[in-house]
Structure 1
Protein backbone atom coordinates (compact mmCIF):
# COMPACT_ATOMS: atom_id res chain seq x y z
CA UNK A 1 0.00 0.00 0.00
CA UNK A 2 1.14 3.53 -0.78
CA UNK A 3 0.84 6.71 1.23
CA UNK A 4 -1.55 9.35 -0.12
CA UNK A 5 -0.15 12.68 -1.32
CA UNK A 6 0.60 15.30 1.33
CA UNK A 7 2.78 18.36 1.97
CA UNK A 8 5.69 17.71 4.33
CA UNK A 9 7.31 20.11 6.79
CA UNK A 10 10.19 19.48 9.20
CA UNK A 11 10.40 22.68 11.28
CA UNK A 12 13.74 23.49 12.97
CA UNK A 13 12.24 24.38 16.34
CA UNK A 14 9.12 24.09 18.47
CA UNK A 15 7.88 27.62 17.82
CA UNK A 16 7.87 27.03 14.06
CA UNK A 17 6.13 23.69 14.56
CA UNK A 18 3.42 25.44 16.58
CA UNK A 19 3.10 28.16 13.93
CA UNK A 20 2.61 25.58 11.19
CA UNK A 21 0.07 23.69 13.26
CA UNK A 22 -1.88 26.89 13.88
CA UNK A 23 -1.78 27.69 10.15
CA UNK A 24 -3.02 24.30 8.95
CA UNK A 25 -5.12 23.26 11.95
CA UNK A 26 -7.15 20.09 11.50
CA UNK A 27 -5.73 19.60 7.99
CA UNK A 28 -2.36 18.68 9.52
CA UNK A 29 -1.04 15.75 11.53
CA UNK A 30 2.04 15.68 13.76
CA UNK A 31 4.61 13.00 12.89
CA UNK A 32 6.66 11.69 15.81
CA UNK A 33 7.57 8.00 15.54
CA UNK A 34 4.94 7.31 12.90
CA UNK A 35 4.16 3.72 13.93
CA UNK A 36 0.43 4.45 14.12
CA UNK A 37 0.01 7.47 11.84
CA UNK A 38 1.71 6.00 8.76
CA UNK A 39 -0.18 2.72 9.13
CA UNK A 40 -3.50 4.57 9.22
CA UNK A 41 -2.55 6.75 6.28
CA UNK A 42 -1.72 3.69 4.18
CA UNK A 43 -5.17 2.31 4.98
CA UNK A 44 -6.74 5.75 4.36
CA UNK A 45 -8.06 6.00 7.91
CA UNK A 46 -6.29 9.37 8.01
CA UNK A 47 -5.78 11.52 4.91
CA UNK A 48 -4.08 14.69 6.18
CA UNK A 49 -3.11 17.36 3.67
CA UNK A 50 -0.03 18.27 5.70
CA UNK A 51 2.47 16.31 7.79
CA UNK A 52 4.54 18.23 10.34
CA UNK A 53 7.54 16.15 11.40
CA UNK A 54 9.15 16.77 14.79
CA UNK A 55 12.36 14.93 13.88
CA UNK A 56 14.52 18.08 14.28
CA UNK A 57 13.34 18.82 17.83
CA UNK A 58 16.06 16.85 19.62
CA UNK A 59 15.32 18.54 22.96
CA UNK A 60 12.04 16.63 23.07
CA UNK A 61 13.95 13.34 23.37
CA UNK A 62 15.56 14.16 26.71
CA UNK A 63 14.97 12.08 29.83
CA UNK A 64 16.23 13.92 32.90
CA UNK A 65 15.76 14.52 36.60
CA UNK A 66 17.75 16.28 39.29
CA UNK A 67 17.90 14.76 42.81
CA UNK A 68 14.60 15.39 44.56
CA UNK A 69 13.08 16.96 41.44
CA UNK A 70 10.38 15.79 39.06
CA UNK A 71 11.24 13.43 36.22
CA UNK A 72 10.92 14.98 32.76
CA UNK A 73 10.48 12.74 29.71
CA UNK A 74 10.45 14.44 26.32
CA UNK A 75 7.52 13.48 24.13
CA UNK A 76 9.85 12.18 21.39
CA UNK A 77 11.67 9.74 23.69
CA UNK A 78 11.23 6.33 22.09
CA UNK A 79 9.96 3.31 23.93
CA UNK A 80 13.40 1.70 23.64
CA UNK A 81 15.08 4.81 25.06
CA UNK A 82 12.68 4.69 27.99
CA UNK A 83 13.20 0.96 28.48
CA UNK A 84 17.00 1.31 28.42
CA UNK A 85 17.34 4.57 30.37
CA UNK A 86 19.68 4.06 33.35
CA UNK A 87 17.87 6.88 35.17
CA UNK A 88 14.50 5.19 34.79
CA UNK A 89 15.87 1.74 35.61
CA UNK A 90 17.27 3.11 38.87
CA UNK A 91 14.57 5.55 40.01
CA UNK A 92 11.43 4.75 38.00
CA UNK A 93 11.85 1.11 37.12
CA UNK A 94 8.14 0.46 36.62
CA UNK A 95 8.11 2.91 33.69
CA UNK A 96 11.11 1.31 31.98
CA UNK A 97 9.64 -2.17 32.55
CA UNK A 98 6.32 -1.12 31.01
CA UNK A 99 8.14 0.21 27.94
CA UNK A 100 10.32 -2.90 27.66
CA UNK A 101 7.27 -5.18 27.54
CA UNK A 102 5.58 -3.25 24.74
CA UNK A 103 5.27 -4.53 21.18
CA UNK A 104 8.51 -5.65 19.51
CA UNK A 105 11.97 -4.15 19.19
CA UNK A 106 11.28 -2.54 15.81
CA UNK A 107 8.18 -0.74 17.05
CA UNK A 108 9.87 0.23 20.34
CA UNK A 109 12.73 1.72 18.33
CA UNK A 110 10.34 4.04 16.47
CA UNK A 111 7.33 4.53 18.74
CA UNK A 112 7.42 7.49 21.14
CA UNK A 113 5.92 8.10 24.56
CA UNK A 114 4.05 11.10 23.16
CA UNK A 115 2.51 9.03 20.40
CA UNK A 116 1.52 6.29 22.83
CA UNK A 117 -0.35 8.89 24.87
CA UNK A 118 -1.92 11.07 22.15
CA UNK A 119 -3.14 8.08 20.14
CA UNK A 120 -5.51 7.36 23.06
CA UNK A 121 -5.93 3.62 22.58
CA UNK A 122 -7.44 1.75 25.59
CA UNK A 123 -4.79 -0.98 25.38
CA UNK A 124 -1.83 1.46 25.46
CA UNK A 125 0.73 0.34 28.04
CA UNK A 126 2.41 3.56 29.17
CA UNK A 127 -0.58 5.72 30.27
CA UNK A 128 -1.69 3.41 33.14
CA UNK A 129 1.70 3.34 34.90
CA UNK A 130 2.18 7.07 34.33
CA UNK A 131 -1.26 7.84 35.77
CA UNK A 132 -0.70 5.84 38.98
CA UNK A 133 2.57 7.76 39.43
CA UNK A 134 0.70 11.07 39.19
CA UNK A 135 2.08 12.17 35.81
CA UNK A 136 1.21 15.43 34.10
CA UNK A 137 1.77 16.45 30.49
CA UNK A 138 2.69 19.76 28.89
CA UNK A 139 0.74 20.95 25.84
CA UNK A 140 2.22 23.82 23.82
CA UNK A 141 0.71 26.10 21.16
CA UNK A 142 1.37 29.57 19.76
CA UNK A 143 -0.76 30.90 22.63
CA UNK A 144 1.48 29.43 25.32
CA UNK A 145 1.55 26.20 27.29
CA UNK A 146 -0.64 24.40 29.78
CA UNK A 147 -0.13 21.44 32.07
CA UNK A 148 -2.78 18.72 32.29
CA UNK A 149 -2.92 15.78 34.72
CA UNK A 150 -2.62 12.70 32.53
CA UNK A 151 -5.63 11.16 34.27
CA UNK A 152 -7.76 14.03 32.90
CA UNK A 153 -6.32 13.92 29.37
CA UNK A 154 -8.34 11.01 27.96
CA UNK A 155 -11.99 11.33 26.92
CA UNK A 156 -12.48 8.05 25.03
CA UNK A 157 -11.07 5.98 22.19
CA UNK A 158 -8.87 8.34 20.10
CA UNK A 159 -10.41 11.27 22.02
CA UNK A 160 -8.45 13.60 24.30
CA UNK A 161 -8.50 17.20 25.52
CA UNK A 162 -5.66 18.23 23.16
CA UNK A 163 -6.62 21.00 20.73
CA UNK A 164 -5.84 20.97 17.01
CA UNK A 165 -3.17 23.64 17.53
CA UNK A 166 -1.39 21.96 20.48
CA UNK A 167 1.69 19.74 20.63
CA UNK A 168 2.46 17.43 23.55
CA UNK A 169 6.06 18.24 24.52
CA UNK A 170 6.83 16.42 27.76
CA UNK A 171 5.64 14.10 30.50
CA UNK A 172 6.26 15.17 34.09
CA UNK A 173 6.40 12.49 36.79
CA UNK A 174 6.59 13.61 40.44
CA UNK A 175 9.66 12.56 42.40
CA UNK A 176 8.98 9.17 43.99
CA UNK A 177 9.90 8.36 47.59
CA UNK A 178 8.60 5.19 49.21
CA UNK A 179 5.99 4.21 46.64
CA UNK A 180 6.14 0.72 45.15
CA UNK A 181 4.76 0.50 41.63
CA UNK A 182 4.41 -1.92 38.73
CA UNK A 183 2.54 -2.60 35.50
CA UNK A 184 1.51 -6.10 34.43
CA UNK A 185 -0.01 -6.82 31.04
CA UNK A 186 -1.35 -9.92 29.33
CA UNK A 187 -1.26 -10.31 25.55
CA UNK A 188 -1.09 -13.00 22.94
CA UNK A 189 2.28 -14.68 22.45
CA UNK A 190 2.84 -12.75 19.26
CA UNK A 191 5.30 -10.00 18.40
CA UNK A 192 3.65 -6.60 18.63
CA UNK A 193 0.42 -7.91 20.16
CA UNK A 194 -1.77 -5.40 21.97
CA UNK A 195 -2.57 -5.97 25.61
CA UNK A 196 -5.75 -7.95 26.20
CA UNK A 197 -5.71 -6.51 29.72
CA UNK A 198 -3.24 -4.63 31.87
CA UNK A 199 -3.05 -3.31 35.43
CA UNK A 200 -0.83 -0.58 36.87
CA UNK A 201 -0.48 -0.18 40.63
CA UNK A 202 1.28 2.24 42.99
CA UNK A 203 1.14 1.65 46.74
CA UNK A 204 2.57 3.12 49.92
CA UNK A 205 2.85 0.79 52.90
CA UNK A 206 3.35 1.29 56.62
CA UNK A 207 4.38 -2.11 57.87
CA UNK A 208 1.60 -4.45 56.77
CA UNK A 209 -0.95 -1.63 56.39
CA UNK A 210 -1.61 -0.07 52.99
CA UNK A 211 -1.64 3.71 53.42
CA UNK A 212 -2.36 4.63 49.81
CA UNK A 213 -3.08 2.84 46.55
CA UNK A 214 -3.69 3.86 42.96
CA UNK A 215 -4.88 1.26 40.45
CA UNK A 216 -5.39 1.94 36.73
CA UNK A 217 -6.63 -0.62 34.21
CA UNK A 218 -5.70 -0.92 30.53
CA UNK A 219 -8.04 -2.35 27.87
CA UNK A 220 -10.83 -2.33 30.46
CA UNK A 221 -12.84 0.67 29.23
CA UNK A 222 -12.74 3.24 26.41
CA UNK A 223 -9.95 5.02 28.32
CA UNK A 224 -7.46 4.16 31.10
CA UNK A 225 -9.75 3.32 34.01
CA UNK A 226 -9.03 4.28 37.61
CA UNK A 227 -10.23 1.34 39.76
CA UNK A 228 -11.34 3.40 42.75
CA UNK A 229 -13.49 0.69 44.34
CA UNK A 230 -10.52 -1.67 44.32
CA UNK A 231 -8.39 1.05 45.91
CA UNK A 232 -10.95 1.49 48.69
CA UNK A 233 -10.83 -2.23 49.43
CA UNK A 234 -7.14 -2.16 50.29
CA UNK A 235 -6.39 1.32 51.69
CA UNK A 236 -6.17 1.41 55.48
CA UNK A 237 -6.22 -2.36 55.73
CA UNK A 238 -3.70 -5.00 56.74
CA UNK A 239 -2.70 -6.68 53.50
CA UNK A 240 -3.45 -10.39 53.23
CA UNK A 241 -3.85 -12.74 50.26
CA UNK A 242 -7.60 -12.66 50.81
CA UNK A 243 -7.66 -8.85 50.73
CA UNK A 244 -5.72 -8.80 47.46
CA UNK A 245 -8.27 -11.21 45.97
CA UNK A 246 -11.09 -8.90 47.11
CA UNK A 247 -9.37 -5.96 45.44
CA UNK A 248 -9.03 -7.98 42.24
CA UNK A 249 -12.73 -8.83 42.29
CA UNK A 250 -13.62 -5.16 42.84
CA UNK A 251 -11.43 -4.10 39.90
CA UNK A 252 -13.06 -6.70 37.67
CA UNK A 253 -16.55 -5.58 38.68
CA UNK A 254 -15.92 -1.91 37.90
CA UNK A 255 -14.15 -2.63 34.60
CA UNK A 256 -15.99 -2.16 31.30
CA UNK A 257 -14.06 -4.21 28.72
CA UNK A 258 -15.62 -4.95 25.35
CA UNK A 259 -15.62 -8.29 23.58
CA UNK A 260 -13.32 -8.55 20.57
CA UNK A 261 -11.38 -11.11 18.59
CA UNK A 262 -8.70 -10.93 21.31
CA UNK A 263 -11.01 -11.80 24.19
CA UNK A 264 -14.59 -11.73 25.45
CA UNK A 265 -15.83 -9.34 28.12
CA UNK A 266 -15.99 -12.16 30.66
CA UNK A 267 -12.47 -13.37 29.84
CA UNK A 268 -11.02 -9.89 30.16
CA UNK A 269 -12.77 -9.28 33.48
CA UNK A 270 -11.27 -12.46 34.88
CA UNK A 271 -7.85 -11.39 33.60
CA UNK A 272 -8.27 -8.05 35.34
CA UNK A 273 -9.10 -9.82 38.60
CA UNK A 274 -5.95 -11.96 38.41
CA UNK A 275 -3.66 -9.19 37.15
CA UNK A 276 -4.84 -6.75 39.84
CA UNK A 277 -4.05 -9.25 42.57
CA UNK A 278 -0.63 -9.99 41.09
CA UNK A 279 0.20 -6.34 40.47
CA UNK A 280 -0.70 -5.36 44.03
CA UNK A 281 1.44 -8.18 45.41
CA UNK A 282 4.38 -7.18 43.21
CA UNK A 283 4.09 -3.46 44.02
CA UNK A 284 3.95 -4.18 47.75
CA UNK A 285 7.08 -6.32 47.47
CA UNK A 286 8.85 -3.48 45.64
CA UNK A 287 7.79 -0.96 48.26
CA UNK A 288 9.51 -3.01 50.95
CA UNK A 289 12.81 -3.26 49.02
Structure 2
Protein backbone atom coordinates (compact mmCIF):
# COMPACT_ATOMS: atom_id res chain seq x y z
CA UNK A 1 0.00 0.00 0.00
CA UNK A 2 1.36 3.40 -1.02
CA UNK A 3 0.47 6.24 1.36
CA UNK A 4 0.63 9.87 0.18
CA UNK A 5 0.94 12.74 2.67
CA UNK A 6 -0.15 16.03 1.06
CA UNK A 7 0.39 19.18 3.12
CA UNK A 8 -2.34 21.34 1.57
CA UNK A 9 -5.88 20.99 0.25
CA UNK A 10 -4.59 21.69 -3.27
CA UNK A 11 -2.00 18.92 -3.00
CA UNK A 12 -4.63 16.52 -1.68
CA UNK A 13 -6.96 17.30 -4.58
CA UNK A 14 -4.10 16.88 -7.02
CA UNK A 15 -3.31 13.47 -5.53
CA UNK A 16 -6.95 12.42 -5.95
CA UNK A 17 -7.00 13.64 -9.53
CA UNK A 18 -3.84 11.71 -10.43
CA UNK A 19 -5.02 8.63 -8.50
CA UNK A 20 -8.82 8.44 -8.98
CA UNK A 21 -9.07 5.07 -7.20
CA UNK A 22 -7.18 6.24 -4.10
CA UNK A 23 -8.86 6.11 -0.69
CA UNK A 24 -8.82 9.13 1.61
CA UNK A 25 -7.76 8.60 5.21
CA UNK A 26 -7.63 10.97 8.17
CA UNK A 27 -7.26 9.07 11.45
CA UNK A 28 -7.49 5.64 9.85
CA UNK A 29 -9.49 4.07 12.68
CA UNK A 30 -11.96 2.59 10.22
CA UNK A 31 -9.99 2.08 7.01
CA UNK A 32 -6.99 0.39 8.62
CA UNK A 33 -9.21 -2.01 10.54
CA UNK A 34 -10.98 -2.98 7.32
CA UNK A 35 -7.66 -3.40 5.54
CA UNK A 36 -6.37 -5.75 8.23
CA UNK A 37 -9.59 -7.73 7.92
CA UNK A 38 -9.14 -7.91 4.17
CA UNK A 39 -12.43 -6.22 3.34
CA UNK A 40 -10.69 -3.22 1.80
CA UNK A 41 -7.31 -3.32 0.11
CA UNK A 42 -6.61 0.07 -1.48
CA UNK A 43 -3.35 0.36 -3.37
CA UNK A 44 -3.05 4.11 -2.75
CA UNK A 45 -4.17 6.06 0.31
CA UNK A 46 -4.21 9.85 0.57
CA UNK A 47 -3.60 10.66 4.24
CA UNK A 48 -4.83 14.07 5.42
CA UNK A 49 -3.12 14.27 8.79
CA UNK A 50 -0.63 16.94 7.57
CA UNK A 51 -3.24 19.20 5.94
CA UNK A 52 -3.52 21.94 8.57
CA UNK A 53 -6.30 23.83 6.78
CA UNK A 54 -8.85 21.10 7.53
CA UNK A 55 -7.94 20.38 11.14
CA UNK A 56 -8.87 23.68 12.81
CA UNK A 57 -12.03 24.98 14.50
CA UNK A 58 -13.23 28.51 13.74
CA UNK A 59 -16.09 30.53 15.23
CA UNK A 60 -17.89 32.46 12.48
CA UNK A 61 -20.57 34.68 14.07
CA UNK A 62 -23.55 32.36 14.64
CA UNK A 63 -21.91 29.17 13.41
CA UNK A 64 -18.79 27.10 13.97
CA UNK A 65 -16.66 25.70 11.18
CA UNK A 66 -15.02 22.41 12.11
CA UNK A 67 -12.25 21.11 9.86
CA UNK A 68 -12.93 17.57 8.66
CA UNK A 69 -9.61 16.32 10.05
CA UNK A 70 -10.42 17.57 13.57
CA UNK A 71 -10.14 14.66 15.97
CA UNK A 72 -12.76 13.70 18.50
CA UNK A 73 -10.30 14.70 21.22
CA UNK A 74 -10.00 18.06 19.49
CA UNK A 75 -13.76 18.52 19.77
CA UNK A 76 -13.68 17.63 23.46
CA UNK A 77 -10.81 19.99 24.22
CA UNK A 78 -12.28 22.99 22.40
CA UNK A 79 -14.02 25.52 24.64
CA UNK A 80 -16.30 26.85 21.90
CA UNK A 81 -17.57 23.36 21.07
CA UNK A 82 -18.16 22.58 24.74
CA UNK A 83 -19.99 25.84 25.49
CA UNK A 84 -21.81 26.59 22.22
CA UNK A 85 -22.38 23.10 20.76
CA UNK A 86 -22.72 20.93 23.88
CA UNK A 87 -24.82 18.36 22.02
CA UNK A 88 -21.96 17.61 19.62
CA UNK A 89 -19.45 17.77 22.48
CA UNK A 90 -21.38 15.13 24.40
CA UNK A 91 -21.63 12.84 21.40
CA UNK A 92 -17.85 13.03 21.02
CA UNK A 93 -17.47 12.29 24.74
CA UNK A 94 -19.09 8.86 24.42
CA UNK A 95 -17.28 8.05 21.17
CA UNK A 96 -15.12 4.93 21.51
CA UNK A 97 -12.08 5.14 23.85
CA UNK A 98 -9.64 7.98 24.59
CA UNK A 99 -6.98 6.40 22.39
CA UNK A 100 -9.39 6.07 19.46
CA UNK A 101 -10.67 9.63 20.01
CA UNK A 102 -7.10 10.88 19.66
CA UNK A 103 -7.03 9.57 16.08
CA UNK A 104 -10.62 9.38 14.84
CA UNK A 105 -11.87 12.51 13.06
CA UNK A 106 -15.27 14.07 12.61
CA UNK A 107 -14.83 13.90 8.83
CA UNK A 108 -14.00 10.23 9.01
CA UNK A 109 -17.02 9.51 11.19
CA UNK A 110 -19.24 11.27 8.66
CA UNK A 111 -17.69 9.77 5.53
CA UNK A 112 -17.78 6.24 6.90
CA UNK A 113 -21.54 6.78 6.64
CA UNK A 114 -22.46 4.23 9.26
CA UNK A 115 -26.07 4.28 10.51
CA UNK A 116 -24.53 3.99 14.00
CA UNK A 117 -22.13 6.95 13.68
CA UNK A 118 -22.23 8.91 16.93
CA UNK A 119 -21.86 12.41 15.45
CA UNK A 120 -24.48 12.11 12.71
CA UNK A 121 -27.72 12.39 14.78
CA UNK A 122 -26.49 15.53 16.61
CA UNK A 123 -25.31 17.08 13.33
CA UNK A 124 -28.73 16.44 11.80
CA UNK A 125 -30.69 18.16 14.58
CA UNK A 126 -28.19 21.04 14.66
CA UNK A 127 -28.78 21.65 10.94
CA UNK A 128 -25.15 21.15 9.94
CA UNK A 129 -23.79 21.51 6.42
CA UNK A 130 -20.69 19.95 4.91
CA UNK A 131 -18.14 21.89 2.88
CA UNK A 132 -16.83 19.95 -0.11
CA UNK A 133 -13.72 20.86 -2.11
CA UNK A 134 -12.76 20.04 -5.67
CA UNK A 135 -10.77 21.66 -8.46
CA UNK A 136 -14.10 23.09 -9.68
CA UNK A 137 -14.47 25.05 -6.45
CA UNK A 138 -16.30 24.65 -3.17
CA UNK A 139 -19.88 23.57 -2.50
CA UNK A 140 -21.94 23.25 0.68
CA UNK A 141 -24.81 20.82 1.17
CA UNK A 142 -26.90 19.80 4.20
CA UNK A 143 -25.59 16.85 6.16
CA UNK A 144 -28.91 15.13 5.42
CA UNK A 145 -28.06 15.14 1.69
CA UNK A 146 -24.47 14.00 2.17
CA UNK A 147 -24.93 10.49 3.60
CA UNK A 148 -27.11 8.64 1.06
CA UNK A 149 -26.83 4.99 2.18
CA UNK A 150 -24.82 2.79 4.54
CA UNK A 151 -21.18 3.35 3.59
CA UNK A 152 -22.09 5.77 0.77
CA UNK A 153 -21.91 9.55 0.53
CA UNK A 154 -22.58 12.03 -2.24
CA UNK A 155 -18.86 12.77 -2.69
CA UNK A 156 -17.99 12.62 -6.38
CA UNK A 157 -14.68 11.42 -7.77
CA UNK A 158 -11.95 13.92 -6.99
CA UNK A 159 -13.91 15.62 -4.21
CA UNK A 160 -12.80 16.03 -0.60
CA UNK A 161 -14.77 16.74 2.57
CA UNK A 162 -13.13 19.85 3.98
CA UNK A 163 -15.27 21.00 6.89
CA UNK A 164 -18.53 20.77 8.79
CA UNK A 165 -20.45 24.01 9.31
CA UNK A 166 -22.65 23.89 12.41
CA UNK A 167 -25.12 26.65 13.33
CA UNK A 168 -25.06 27.59 17.00
CA UNK A 169 -28.54 27.21 18.57
CA UNK A 170 -29.90 30.58 19.61
CA UNK A 171 -31.79 31.25 22.83
CA UNK A 172 -32.78 28.67 25.38
CA UNK A 173 -32.81 25.15 23.95
CA UNK A 174 -32.93 21.71 25.49
CA UNK A 175 -30.39 19.31 24.04
CA UNK A 176 -30.48 15.56 24.51
CA UNK A 177 -28.24 12.74 23.33
CA UNK A 178 -28.39 9.14 24.38
CA UNK A 179 -27.09 5.98 22.83
CA UNK A 180 -27.78 2.42 23.89
CA UNK A 181 -25.13 -0.24 23.31
CA UNK A 182 -24.41 -3.79 24.38
CA UNK A 183 -22.11 -2.57 27.12
CA UNK A 184 -21.54 0.60 29.15
CA UNK A 185 -18.44 1.81 27.31
CA UNK A 186 -16.68 1.48 23.94
CA UNK A 187 -19.93 0.32 22.36
CA UNK A 188 -21.34 0.79 18.89
CA UNK A 189 -24.81 2.27 19.16
CA UNK A 190 -27.67 -0.21 18.94
CA UNK A 191 -29.97 2.82 18.94
CA UNK A 192 -29.22 6.49 19.50
CA UNK A 193 -31.34 9.62 19.73
CA UNK A 194 -30.35 13.26 19.43
CA UNK A 195 -32.92 15.95 20.12
CA UNK A 196 -33.08 19.72 20.21
CA UNK A 197 -36.20 21.28 21.73
CA UNK A 198 -37.32 24.81 22.35
CA UNK A 199 -39.89 25.22 25.12
CA UNK A 200 -41.54 28.55 25.85
CA UNK A 201 -44.10 29.01 28.63
CA UNK A 202 -44.41 25.24 28.98
CA UNK A 203 -45.19 24.77 25.28
CA UNK A 204 -42.93 23.09 22.74
CA UNK A 205 -42.33 25.64 19.97
CA UNK A 206 -39.66 23.73 18.04
CA UNK A 207 -38.65 20.06 17.97
CA UNK A 208 -35.88 18.32 16.08
CA UNK A 209 -35.35 14.59 16.54
CA UNK A 210 -32.84 12.27 14.86
CA UNK A 211 -32.40 8.55 15.48
CA UNK A 212 -29.32 6.50 14.65
CA UNK A 213 -29.10 2.74 13.97
CA UNK A 214 -32.79 2.40 13.12
CA UNK A 215 -32.57 2.79 9.34
CA UNK A 216 -30.10 2.89 6.44
CA UNK A 217 -29.21 6.45 7.40
CA UNK A 218 -30.10 8.80 10.26
CA UNK A 219 -33.88 9.06 10.60
CA UNK A 220 -35.55 12.44 11.07
CA UNK A 221 -39.26 12.11 11.73
CA UNK A 222 -41.02 15.29 10.62
CA UNK A 223 -44.42 13.84 11.55
CA UNK A 224 -43.36 13.34 15.16
CA UNK A 225 -41.72 16.77 15.28
CA UNK A 226 -44.85 18.53 14.01
CA UNK A 227 -47.07 16.61 16.45
CA UNK A 228 -44.97 17.78 19.40
CA UNK A 229 -45.13 21.48 18.47
CA UNK A 230 -47.83 23.30 20.41
CA UNK A 231 -48.03 20.66 23.14
CA UNK A 232 -46.84 20.72 26.73
CA UNK A 233 -43.59 18.78 27.30
CA UNK A 234 -45.23 16.04 29.34
CA UNK A 235 -44.70 12.29 29.41
CA UNK A 236 -48.15 11.84 27.92
CA UNK A 237 -47.29 14.12 24.99
CA UNK A 238 -44.22 12.11 24.09
CA UNK A 239 -45.99 8.80 24.67
CA UNK A 240 -48.72 9.86 22.23
CA UNK A 241 -46.28 10.04 19.29
CA UNK A 242 -44.85 6.57 19.87
CA UNK A 243 -46.83 5.00 17.03
CA UNK A 244 -45.60 7.68 14.64
CA UNK A 245 -42.04 6.79 15.62
CA UNK A 246 -42.72 3.12 14.91
CA UNK A 247 -43.98 3.98 11.42
CA UNK A 248 -41.00 6.21 10.64
CA UNK A 249 -38.09 3.94 11.57
CA UNK A 250 -36.97 0.77 9.83
CA UNK A 251 -34.51 -1.10 12.05
CA UNK A 252 -32.85 -4.36 11.05
CA UNK A 253 -31.77 -7.51 12.85
CA UNK A 254 -28.03 -8.02 13.17
CA UNK A 255 -25.50 -9.49 15.61
CA UNK A 256 -26.00 -6.59 18.02
CA UNK A 257 -29.79 -6.49 18.32
CA UNK A 258 -33.09 -7.54 16.80
CA UNK A 259 -35.31 -5.17 14.88
CA UNK A 260 -38.00 -5.53 17.56
CA UNK A 261 -35.59 -4.56 20.33
CA UNK A 262 -34.39 -1.52 18.38
CA UNK A 263 -38.00 -0.46 17.83
CA UNK A 264 -38.78 -0.58 21.54
CA UNK A 265 -35.59 1.25 22.50
CA UNK A 266 -36.23 4.00 19.95
CA UNK A 267 -39.64 4.71 21.50
CA UNK A 268 -38.33 4.43 25.06
CA UNK A 269 -35.59 6.96 24.36
CA UNK A 270 -38.31 9.40 23.41
CA UNK A 271 -39.88 8.85 26.82
CA UNK A 272 -36.54 9.57 28.48
CA UNK A 273 -36.39 12.78 26.48
CA UNK A 274 -39.77 13.65 28.04
CA UNK A 275 -38.19 13.55 31.49
CA UNK A 276 -35.56 16.03 30.39
CA UNK A 277 -38.05 18.32 28.65
CA UNK A 278 -40.21 18.45 31.77
CA UNK A 279 -37.26 19.50 33.92
CA UNK A 280 -34.87 21.37 31.58
CA UNK A 281 -31.72 21.83 33.63
CA UNK A 282 -29.51 21.82 30.56
CA UNK A 283 -28.23 19.24 28.16
CA UNK A 284 -28.98 15.64 29.00
CA UNK A 285 -26.64 12.89 27.95
CA UNK A 286 -27.13 9.22 28.62
CA UNK A 287 -25.24 6.05 27.75
TM-score under structure 2 length normalisation: 0.93
Alignment partners' CA distance in 2, 1:46 and 1:108 = 22
Structure 2 gap ranges (5+): none
Q: Alignment partner of 1:195: what SS?
A: coil
Alignment partners' CA distance in 2, 1:250 and 1:83 = 35
Contact kept in structure 2, 1:182 and 1:283, CA below 8 Å: no
Q: Which moved more, 1:115-124 or 1:229-238?
A: 229-238
Alignment partners' CA distance in 2, 1:167 and 1:288 = 33
Structure 1 gap ranges (5+): 1-5
Alignment partners' CA distance in 2, 1:253 and 1:51 = 41
Residue in structure 1 matched with residue 69 of structure 2 by the alignment: 76
Alignment partners' CA distance in 2, 1:19 and 1:84 = 32
Residue in structure 2 matched with residue 148 of structure 1 by the alignment: 141
Alignment partners' CA distance in 1, 2:256 and 2:3 = 36
Residue in structure 2 matched with residue 90 of structure 1 by the alignment: 83
* Pairing of 1:29-68 with structure 2 (within 5 A): 29-66=23-60, 68=61
The reply on whether 1:219 has 2:217 as its aligned counterpart is no
Residue in structure 2 matched with residue 24 of structure 1 by the alignment: 19
Residue in structure 2 matched with residue 3 of structure 1 by the alignment: none
Alignment partners' CA distance in 2, 1:192 and 1:287 = 25
Indicate which of 5, 10, 15 corresponds to 1:15: 10
Alignment partners' CA distance in 2, 1:144 and 1:169 = 12
1:149-168 CA-to-partner distances (Å, cap 9, x unmatched) read 00111211111111121111
CA 1:41/1:282 → structure 2, altered by over 3 Å: closer, same or farther? same
Residue in structure 2 matched with residue 188 of structure 1 by the alignment: 182
Alignment partners' CA distance in 2, 1:75 and 1:280 = 33
CA 1:49/1:256 → structure 2, altered by over 3 Å: closer, same or farther? same
Contact kept in structure 1, 2:91 and 2:177, CA below 8 Å: yes
Alignment partners' CA distance in 1, 2:283 and 2:53 = 36
Q: Alignment partner of 1:173: what SS?
A: strand
Q: Alignment partner of 2:102: what SS?
A: helix
Residue in structure 1 matched with residue 164 of structure 2 by the alignment: 171
Spell out structure 1 runs of 4+ moving beyond 6 A: none
CA 1:211/1:191 → structure 2, altered by over 3 Å: closer, same or farther? closer
Indicate which of 264, 267, 285 corresponds to 1:273: 267
Contact kept in structure 1, 2:56 and 2:67, CA below 8 Å: yes
The reply on whether 1:259 has 2:282 as its aligned counterpart is no
Contact kept in structure 1, 2:115 and 2:214, CA below 8 Å: yes
| TM-aligned CA deviation for residue 250 of structure 1 | 2.5
Indicate which of 236, 240, 260 corresponds to 1:242: 236
Contact kept in structure 1, 2:175 and 2:197, CA below 8 Å: yes
1:20-46 CA-to-partner distances (Å, cap 9, x unmatched) read 111211x20111000000011112211
CA RMSD of aligned residues (A): 1.8
| TM-aligned CA deviation for residue 64 of structure 1 | 2.2
Alignment partners' CA distance in 2, 1:247 and 1:104 = 35
Alignment partners' CA distance in 1, 2:129 and 2:39 = 29
Aligned length: 282
Alignment partners' CA distance in 1, 2:128 and 2:3 = 32
Contact kept in structure 1, 2:9 and 2:53, CA below 8 Å: no
